[in-house]
Structure 1
């Protein structure tokens, strides 16, 4: 026997033998705690499956799934070297030879079909969140559907770039809760967030999953109850320090093609512009080394940002700085919108604003028709790059 995984009652669940074969045991009695567990190399799990890697005769790591009810192990890969296991619902994902993500729907038959499908993940503000009823489905959903790719959407309405990097776990963040204790069940009120508050949204409840003081759960905000942490499963009360570390569960983010539209709610003056660019650089730096595949979308001027105004000069300067920093990843949707504008949009177009006929009624956010046009432009951009 090369190695074996043993549960808390010292029952062997599976073993890797010296000849490279897997010997599986029945696993229906196993209780696994939340989070990622490590078995020899790496493994992840959900209620029905454990997915793990093990070295083959050549020293490359192959991916296997084990049915937790029957103990049956099925090989999902036989060639290549596979790392960075992730799981999201019934879909497992991993990197193959460090160049792209493979996905497998674990529930889709014994063979576990594997397809090389990148992930779309979105980070930004209301242009990508789009929770309003006249902007459904949101733009990232439309892009993911057009490409037939999975989606992870981190966007939230009203958020600035500093909130976005905090939501995505790119800066160290701490939370303080009432009584410095996570209760055995139910919520606890959050009394402080450092360095910046990324939970609050003026547009209704939003949930963010992750670990607080080592306890898995989620954060919520609403106008009545305020900010709260809810543990995912009941257990013993857990004392935590004031300013306990918050680690968001980013799941499959940073592993595919990113849509980044995140700066319009920032201060666009020279100091604010520098901070915006620093946050944008942080997001780009976090992308895994899969060719740094990302699309940065031009920020639109608001209806008050008319040509000649100070606010228009600021937003134009921000866009110019971002385009100069990332010329190969910059996408301006305005030409597409102007090419499809209605005659009644002439005044707005002359001012470089969003055509009202393609907006959600506010002359700024895109409506369904505008999002449909944006989807085509984004998908074409991704395909032209050879990413799809």
Structure 2
């Protein structure tokens, strides 16, 4: 084995010399000196090309033959092959190098910046070859053939970077110092001879870089563990090593099995709770009793009754390295003789945790990734008082009634665009728990960034640091709290943890109407931020095809036309133009439409003289408002009609 590896190293070194010859042959200029090889000097490719007259192709064939013969002599391939068992693999390597050399010769040194230039009649004729630099860092050149004026790719050549990488990898895998390699019959070693992982010759055990012998560790435990009972110290019954290290024990207070201070079954329960809450968030429901601890309670009672009545058992052939059993012979728990894992009732608790966490991660990933090509038939509406029940003329409720689908009204009076986006989930609130820990029960004070989801005196359900709960803002807006839904152990919460709103998370797959910005539009510094916020709300939706309507902001009765320079109406006109330009495929000029006869017809009313005056002043007709801005019931009917009409026009519904 050692001799064979040394020969492989020699092959590699000689092959490198051959590759240098190939590189010089293909790239040296025409005025360069001869290339020195073991069989004597040879010309480079450009020198050969200069000698070509009428029978150029034949001359190239002769040059390639000379090159390959020189390489065979230089690397002594035939002699080295005789000393190795794997002759087929080495022959394939030599053949591959010969093909590379032949391809280099075929290209006749013609390297051009692009295929278009290489195909020019002055550069190549049909049937001839040329090369173009590869854009890939791992490649040097791409070889093309001019086939009737079309560049057909024939080969790709590795770059020096890739060759260096493969060389380093090859050596790290096979080359090592004798002092380390002599003790192993196979493995992976560093260039300096340090073991990565290898199979020890003496016993076949896999040995790792840090010297760990997993099978040996398990075997060493056999017959060397002691039982210990120290109720005052919290240990009902457990295993200790000869040095006194506690491997695992039944807790004297709870009866639970503890490994390295961890209660695996409790961890499973907590993870399963988190999993159920995520699943609930996906389907919009919450489990009434998310934790089933009946079996855990039974285990505690059973273990408590066994104090002083259990025995140790070792049966390696039966898979038990060391374990506990009752006088009747029932096995309570044991270290598996094959894996060393602690088993309870045939269950590997830590493996169950890993499997559950994997399932949980896949669900959490699904919540953040596209789930379908198109939205569901249901709708969600996000906005301020122009969308909220009552002040909106209830247009959202009327729309879903017309469509016969489910609708979620995410309108909240008085909210600015940041709060709307926070509740929808696109730009979630970042919360810092005062003290850094969410207690087992009850509220805890939190601080938020500018994207706080609830208005003063309001609350929003969501998940903070893995716990479902409720964010509540006081009526004066001076403080906020978070209260977990299910009591449990305290949970650490890092600063600026993301608060994921529950309803925002579960409404991402719907048709959506966004009516955001009415409370911020007159602050010109915010106008670009409003556009960005709406864009993030659209991007947050999961379907690949977004079915979204972005609503035009209406003016209040006092903000009439014509718009004076610097007036709020001028700012409004500017913003609506920006909104339309930013979202042409989503924009709906609803405010302008409300000032048309079609809107009156849709609402089933006749415009009054005052309504006509309002229209001439460029504001919403009085019949459509309750206070000059918010919508009347008739207006709600008209808006529902117009949104439905738009959905039909866009092909969303029949």
TM superposition score normalised by structure 1? 0.66
Q: 1:44 to 1:351 in 2, by over 3 A?
A: closer
Pick aligned residue for 1:328 from 580, 585, 590: 585
Residue of structure 2 aligned with 1:315, choices 572, 583, 603: 572
**Pick from 593, 605, 624: which aligns with 1:358?**
624
- Counterpart Cα distance in 2 of 1:171 and 1:335: 31
1:99 and 2:373 matched: yes
How far apart in 1 are the matches of 2:644 and 2:407?
Answer: 14
Residue 43 of structure 1: CA displacement? 9.7
What is the CA distance between 1:304 and its match in structure 2?
A: 2.7
Distance of 2:435 and 2:559 partners within structure 1:
46
Q: Which of 167, 173, 183 in structure 1 is aligned with 2:423?
A: 167
Q: 2:444 aligns with which of 163, 170, 188?
A: 188
The equivalent of 1:241 in structure 2 is 494
Which structure has more strand as a fraction of its residues?
A: 1
Q: Which runs of 5+ in 2 are unaligned?
A: 1-263, 291-364, 601-606
**Could you say which residue in structure 1 is the equivalent of 2:480?**
227
**Structure 1 residues 45 and 155: CA distance shift in structure 2, 3 A:** closer
Residues 428, 451 of structure 2: 8 Å contact kept: no
Supply the RMSD in Å over aligned alpha carbons: 3.5
Task: Indicate the larger mover: 310-319 or 286-295.
Answer: 286-295
Q: Structure 1, residues 70-121: CA drift from partner, whole Å, max 9, x if none?
A: xxxxxxxxxxxxxx978xxxxxxx95xx3335xxxxxxxxxxxxxxx52211
Alignment CA distance shift 1:214-1:368 (3 Å) = same
1:303 counterpart (536, 557, 581) = 557
Flag the 1:140–1:44 CA change in 2: closer, same or farther, 3 A: closer
Distance 1:223 1:43 in 2: 32
Report the Cα distance in structure 1 between the residues aligned to 2:512 and 2:382, rounded to whole angstroms: 7
Q: Deviations over 1:120-177 (max 9, x none)?
A: 1112111112355xx56x3322222221222233332222222222222223532123
Distance 1:196 1:38, change over 3 A: closer
Q: CA deviation at 1:223?
A: 1.2
Q: Is the 8 A contact 1:121 1:259 kept in 2?
A: yes
The answer as to 2:645 corresponding to 1:380 is yes
Q: Aligned residue pairs: how many?
A: 297
Separation in structure 2 between the aligned mates of residue 215 and residue 338 of structure 1, nearest angstrom: 50
TM-score when scaled to structure 2? 0.41
Aligned with residue 33 of structure 1, among 273, 278, 300: 273
Q: Which residue of 1 aligns with 2:634?
A: 369
Q: Residues 322-345 of structure 1, C-alpha deviation per residue, up to 9 Å, x if partnerless?
A: 112222322222324542233232
Q: Which string of whole-angstrom CA distances, capped at 9 and with x for unpartnered residues, describes residues 296-353 of structure 1?
A: 1110012232222311011011111111222232222232454223323233222111
Q: Hey, what's the Cα distance between the residues in 1 that align with 2:618 and 2:548?
A: 25
Task: Kindly indicate whether the alpha-carbon contact (under 8 Å) linking 2:379 and 2:408 is maintained by their aligned counterparts in 1.
Answer: yes
**How many angstroms apart in 2 are the aligned matches of 1:238 and 1:276?**
35
Correspondence 1:252 to 2:493: no
